[in-house]
A and B are shown apart, each in its own frame.
Chain A
Amino acid sequence: MESIAKEQFQPAIQQAHKDAILRPSLSYWQDAWRRLKKNKLAMIALVVLIIIAALAIIVPLVSGYDYKTQDTKSINLRPSAAHYFGTDDFGRDLWTRIWWGARISLTIGIVAAVMDLVIGVLYGGISAYFGGRVDSIMQRFIEVIYSVPYLLLAILLLMVLGPGMKSIIFAYAITGWVSMARLVRGQLLVLKEQEFVLAARALGAKPFRIILKHLIPNALGVIVVQITFVVPAAIFAEAFLSFIGLGIRPPLASLGNLLSDGAKVMQFHPHRLIFPTVVFSLILLSFNLLGDGLRDALDPKMRK
């Protein structure tokens, strides 16, 4: 063995921080954001959504056309410098109508998601928190609602309420919250039994504090992910209802009735189907990709 200097065998001065943490420490959301940023598809989806939302807000204001003014001289025109996406059979500017439609579809999606969130989180939270008999009664009710096919119920409701944006949102909200409620309840039930909640309770934390500080933040990831799937589902529902003649009524444009009209004349005026299809699919695709990315990013099991 090589010789080693004697003074090397003096007692060492121990560093103060025995448990120094060598990895960079990131909070849950920082970590999630970092992982989301790594997911190229999800980031592209986010950018696309921002662009679409911006266009939906700005274009109807600046395009120089509105969604309803008819122009019998320029019917079914192909795309041109005057009409980027061409015109429809009433000579209305499709570029304006599509972004109007996107505006309406996005509004429906977002309002539906908010209503879903409020009703679902409240219902699921109450059910999980009180447990016992309250929970089992609330769950029986959910089981019944869950088996009612929502599009059929929406059709019936729309017959009564009459077509229109408010009716669509209402019909969606009345049936759509169930998944959210089940999800929140399931998540809270698991969390409620976990050691850190028991620890907090043992330390004397009040129920309200436990819900606010421990349960909600831990369930938030799942809720956020669910919302990114509710929005496209509501947008889809609008398009579906418009397609069977119960959605947004002309002359107001929605992506649903633009698609429906476009499909009818596809053979002669393909531009009337292609443009709404591209915008509609981009919105749905982006929400789905973003939702997938968020789910991966927010899943604590994926943390490395």
Chain B
Amino acid sequence: MSAPLLEVNNLKVSFKMFAGEVQAVRGVSFTLDKGEVLAIVGESGCGKSVTAQTIMRLTPTPPSFIKDGSIIFDGKTDVTKLSEKQMMKIRGQEMGMIFQDPMTSLNPTMTVGAQIAEGIRKHEKLSKSAAMRRAVELLTLVGISNPGERINQYPHEMSGGMRQRVMIAIALACHPKLLIADEPTTALDVTIQAQIMDVMRDIQEKTGTAIILITHDLGVVAEMAQRVIVMYAGKVVEQGDLNDIFYKSQHPYTWGLLSSVPRLDSDKKAALASIPGTPPDLFAPPKGCAFAARCPYAMKICQEQDPEHLPVSGPTHTAACWLMHPDAPKVERPVAAGGGVTHV
């Protein structure tokens, strides 16, 4: 097997605030193979967006800073050590990014064609007209009709779904090896969400680019991802293949996430399951397992000591939970978990 496209090791990112240091990412490790689709799931504020933006070094510094860890891209470059100038060569060329809100992530005073062509001209030294031709091709690729006219339009003349397609075209402009999609469908209508996911899947098949998909929508995960990372309070609590996470998960937080997905076949009168409480304040993270305060199975050790990742079923599926310790009481996986989402 060749080297992975991306190797994140013990990444720690903090934000310097007036009141002190907010530890947004507290030691995240994972790998991503070429052409693979990896989903990062978790509640708002669990550090998934910060992790993704740190890979492209897009978090504003200050206040944010990389405290520790490395991000090895393409087997050779450590992204955390690169200068801003070296980073500029990688951004757009090797990695592209799609943001959450297409309404605000396009420049309102520039035609979409110019916004797509800009990156191409920077990285590939093409003439303006050649770059524009490429922009038309890209718009066709992401399923926009009349691309020849659309390139001369401004973002406000387009719908949200169409703008997100433009964002995808911008991210793909230079055939990057890695595409990071930070909640690409959250701000869109449900019907548009499905279209955008179709575009993403289609493009993944055509171009073979690796994708990191950040979302809190497990339906989206089931549709696209091959592997899943579950994050909580700035840490990875469980990771594994799609099936591992959906059917063999071991972490109570993963169970909670899965059982909070509405099901078509469930009793309509039953309340939708939810995880009580809110995530801890990362301004002062708890000593033990961050989820202990909300975990129905919490033990004394959970409040004392942070669990390490242990293999679950096969080498790629690991979870960080004291329940997997041989001395821990045996807990049955709730039935609801895992059945919530079926493959479409």
Whether A associates with B in a native complex is: yes
In A1-29, the 8 Å CB interface with B consists of: 1, 4, 6-12, 14-15, 18-19, 21-24
Q: Does B236 contact A (CB under 8 A)?
A: no
Q: Are A18 and B322 CB-contacts (below 8 A) given A8-B301, A12-B302? A: no
The docked-state distance in angstroms from the alpha carbon of A109 to that of B250 is 69
- A22 is contacted by which of B281, B299, B303 (Cβ under 8 Å)? B281
User: Does A9 lie within 8 Å of B329, measured CB to CB?
Assistant: yes
Interface SS majority for chain A = loop
Q: Does A304 contact B (CB under 8 A)?
A: yes
User: Does A6 lie within 8 Å of B327, measured CB to CB?
Assistant: yes
Q: Are A18 and B18 CB-contacts (below 8 A) given A4-B301, A12-B298, A12-B302? A: no
Q: Are A15 and B293 CB-contacts (below 8 A) given A8-B301, A304-B18? A: yes
User: Does A9 lie within 8 Å of B303, measured CB to CB?
Assistant: no
Q: How far is the CB of A259 from chain B (nearest CB, A)?
A: 42
Report chain A residues within 8 Å CB of B302: 12
Report chain A residues within 8 Å CB of B298: 11-12, 14
User: Does A9 lie within 8 Å of B18, measured CB to CB?
Assistant: no
User: Does B292 lie within 8 Å of A12, measured CB to CB?
Assistant: yes
- A9 is contacted by which of B19, B276, B277, B327 (Cβ under 8 Å)? B327
Chain B 4-24 per-residue mask, 1 if CB under 8 angstroms from chain A, else 0: 000000000000011100000
Q: Does B154 contact A (CB under 8 A)?
A: no
Q: Are A8 and B17 CB-contacts (below 8 A) given A14-B298, A15-B293, A22-B281? A: no
Report chain A residues within 8 Å CB of B303: 12
In B312-335, the 8 Å CB interface with A consists of: 322, 325, 327-329
User: Does B293 lie within 8 Å of A9, measured CB to CB?
Assistant: no
User: Does A18 lie within 8 Å of B281, measured CB to CB?
Assistant: no
Residue in chain A with minimal CB distance to B297: A11
Q: How far is the CB of B71 from chain A (nearest CB, A)?
A: 27
Name which of A6, A12, A19 has the most chain B CB atoms within 10 A of its CB. Answer: A12
Report chain B residues within 8 Å CB of A8: 299-301, 304, 327
The docked-state distance in angstroms from the alpha carbon of A11 to that of B252 is 14
Q: Does B67 contact A (CB under 8 A)?
A: no
Chain B 27-43 per-residue mask, 1 if CB under 8 angstroms from chain A, else 0: 00000000000000000
Q: Does B201 contact A (CB under 8 A)?
A: no
The docked-state distance in angstroms from the alpha carbon of A18 to that of B286 is 12
Report chain B residues within 8 Å CB of A9: 299-301, 322, 325, 327-329
Report chain A residues within 8 Å CB of B308: 1
Q: Does B248 contact A (CB under 8 A)?
A: no
Q: Are A22 and B300 CB-contacts (below 8 A) given A4-B325, A9-B329, A304-B17? A: no
Q: Are A4 and B276 CB-contacts (below 8 A) given A18-B293, A22-B281? A: no
Q: Does B278 contact A (CB under 8 A)?
A: yes
Q: Are A18 and B277 CB-contacts (below 8 A) given A9-B322, A10-B299, A11-B298? A: yes
The docked-state distance in angstroms from the alpha carbon of A8 to that of B283 is 27
Q: How far is the CB of A179 from chain B (nearest CB, A)?
A: 26
Residue in chain B with minimal CB distance to A35: B18
User: Does B327 lie within 8 Å of A4, measured CB to CB?
Assistant: yes
Q: How far is the CB of B112 from chain A (nearest CB, A)?
A: 29
Report chain A residues within 8 Å CB of B1: none
Q: Does B216 contact A (CB under 8 A)?
A: no
Residue in chain A with minimal CB distance to B308: A1
Report chain A residues within 8 Å CB of B300: 7-12
Q: Does B284 contact A (CB under 8 A)?
A: yes
User: Does B299 lie within 8 Å of A18, measured CB to CB?
Assistant: no
User: Does B281 lie within 8 Å of A12, measured CB to CB?
Assistant: no
Q: How far is the CB of B326 from chain A (nearest CB, A)?
A: 9
The docked-state distance in angstroms from the alpha carbon of A254 to that of B128 is 64
Report chain A residues within 8 Å CB of B175: none
User: Does A22 lie within 8 Å of B17, measured CB to CB?
Assistant: no
Q: How far is the CB of A80 from chain B (nearest CB, A)?
A: 50
Q: Does B294 contact A (CB under 8 A)?
A: yes
Q: How far is the CB of A217 from chain B (nearest CB, A)?
A: 23
Report chain A residues within 8 Å CB of B292: 12
The docked-state distance in angstroms from the alpha carbon of A59 to that of B31 is 75
The docked-state distance in angstroms from the alpha carbon of A8 to that of B329 is 11
The docked-state distance in angstroms from the alpha carbon of A229 to that of B300 is 59
Q: Are A14 and B299 CB-contacts (below 8 A) given A19-B278, A304-B18? A: no
7 nearest A-B residue pairs (beta carbon): A8-B301, A18-B277, A12-B298, A22-B281, A304-B18, A22-B284, A304-B17
23 contacts between A and B (CB under 8 A): A4-B327, A6-B327, A7-B300, A8-B299, A8-B327, A9-B300, A9-B322, A9-B329, A11-B298, A11-B300, A12-B298, A12-B303, A18-B277, A18-B278, A18-B293, A18-B294, A19-B278, A22-B283, A22-B284, A23-B281, A23-B283, A304-B17, A304-B19
**Interface, chain B (partner A; CB < 8 A):** 17-19, 276-278, 281, 283-284, 292-294, 297-305, 308, 322, 325, 327-329
**Interface, chain A (partner B; CB < 8 A):** 1, 4, 6-12, 14-15, 18-19, 21-24, 304
